[in-house]
Structure 1
Amino acid sequence: MPEVTAPYAPGTPCWVDLAAPDQQAAIDFYSGLFGWTGQIGPPETGGYAVCELKGKPVAGIMAAVAMGGQPAPPTVWTTYLTSADADATQRAVEAANGQVLMPVMDVMTIGRMCIAADPTGAAFGVWQPVDFPGAGIVNEPGAVIWNELNTTDTEAAAAFYDSVLALRAAPMEMEGAEGYFSLSVGGRPVGGMQPMPEGVPAGTPSHWLTYFSVTDTDATVTQLKAAGGSVFKEPFDMVAGRMAVVADPQGAPFAVINPKPMDGS
């Protein structure tokens, strides 16, 4: 079901958010593209906007602000993986040769988080829920449907996520998915992993890519272009549906897909 009614199991992607140089412009763009509602939050939250779809939280958008003499965060969508204990996960990241980019911190009463990078350089978030479990709606048009790790070293990445969050990688046994790995929690696929795709710009680092579900990939791409977005890979048919890899007007990459039933029905 698209509406999330049970807690996310540790290791499962539970939330995505975007750091944008122009927060209001980002809110307006995604609201127009996906039917979200959202507004800049109060000062006590740093203005963080929790965007909603059908009255349920679907994604976050914040202002990309430099703090403590550090450069502003990159304009990217960050995938957050659920943790039962953010402090323990942070220690596991360090023990597995990952890097802690932002140490564990409390987010008011809603949870605890940190930002880390795996040994191949892909950044991700860790979310320990308290009052806020994560996305309240997924797998339907306008919501997140897939989170995918594109990495320069699948073997190193697989060992890392298994060690840190028991996120298990295995070759996907499906025609047309050669070289692709599922990432599973408790035997249930919750994401994917693949070697860095051909055709990506030279120097592109390992990264997590967020997929949003849409009803018409071609129409969505046309709308995105008209709103100032750009296209890395034009709409194409693949094993899971018709997808495209795009970027918003401020340069944040993401994918859109009109999925087809995986059972062939």
Structure 2
Amino acid sequence: MDSTSLEGVSVVVSIIAAAISAVGAAVVAWQAVQTRQSTRAAIEAVDVARAELSQGEALRDDALKAHIDAEMPRVTVTAYLHAEVLDPAEPPASIFLDDRKKDRLTQKEYVLPRDSSKLLQAKGTVTVINDGPRFMEARYRSDSDPSTRPLDLAVPPGESRTVEVSRTETVERWVDLARWAQGDTSIEGPHEDVIFSMSYRFPGWVGAVEEHRVVMGGTAVEPVEGNASAWRPAQLNSSRQDHVSPASLVLQPFERHYFRNRPGDDVMGWF
């Protein structure tokens, strides 16, 4: 075989090798495309499965919450603020305000700065009503001091319990709250205090914690006409409008937090 024939064979071989390489490259590219599509399909399938699982868990949680709601005691909280504002250090009869009379029983006045540190206390009552279907055992605090030890409150279905609540501040602080209500933005907060908080836990490993709060805002004093430095206990729960932002009780919307735990769990499994 002469050199020309060898060169021709070499060219043919090169062409065939190039063709095979091209075909191989095409096959590899096609396999990559198929692999990518298969991977994408697998990922989409996983996403669909996750979405279905999440939706299933949400439906299960909703059903569980509905069951818990049906078993939770139906609790109603009402609050009433007494008309009297008192000085805890003095006999109540000397400074009580009588909500059954239009005139106050005393004209006791507090003058600043002389009486700045004297204490005045606004009191009220909170009634907890249990409309069933379950017996309720709760824990509550009945004043604005967070260090106060919680007390037990047991209310059978169809019954109610009433507890006293109070907020005690210095005369100076009550006056500050009155001035804040008049628009003095230099008065530091808090301008309201939680004076009643109650927490009830559904018994068991799956249930809910329900919390109720009553907030007192406003002030317990009013200015004395003709004396800019004098203040007196305000007559609360009255229709009079001549005093500044009288103290009032506000019921906060109750909160219910659901949990799901197993025996031995160290933390609450909220959902």
Higher-strand-fraction structure: 1
Scaled to the shorter chain, the TM-score interval is: under 0.3
TM-score (norm 2): 0.22
Look at both structures and tell me which one has the larger radius of gyration over its CA atoms: 2
TM-score (norm 1): 0.22
